[in-house]
Amino acid sequence: MKAKVHVMLKEGVLDPQGAAIQHALGALGFAGVNEVRQGKVILLDLADGTTEPMIAEMCEKLLANTVIESYTIEIMS
């Protein structure tokens, strides 16, 4: 089984990497980029029988800093 975990900074948390990307896009001539939020994607190849609550526990304990980040889990076949 495969799973994809999307981790993003929560709304209201400053995103300096996103701001740097937004600035660089403007400098390259891409007008109209109002905001950029940068995150990460973690691909997991898991043993059969791994449940979504087990993946959520992985996120809570290691993959995401839940104080400032939120995450979503996408189960893939």
Tell me the per-residue pLDDT of 9-50, one tens digit each, with 9 for 90 and over: 999 999 999 999 999 999 999 999 999 999 999 999 999 999
pLDDT at 67: 98
- Residue 77 · residue 42 · CB < 8 Å: no
Indicate the pTM of the whole model.
Answer: 0.88
pLDDT at 77: 77
pLDDT at 8: 98
Tell me the per-residue pLDDT of 45-65, one tens digit each, with 9 for 90 and over: 999 999 999 999 999 999 999
Backbone angles phi, psi at 9, to 5 degrees: -65, 145
Which structural domains are found in the chain, ordered by start?
Answer: 2-76 (3.30.1280.10)
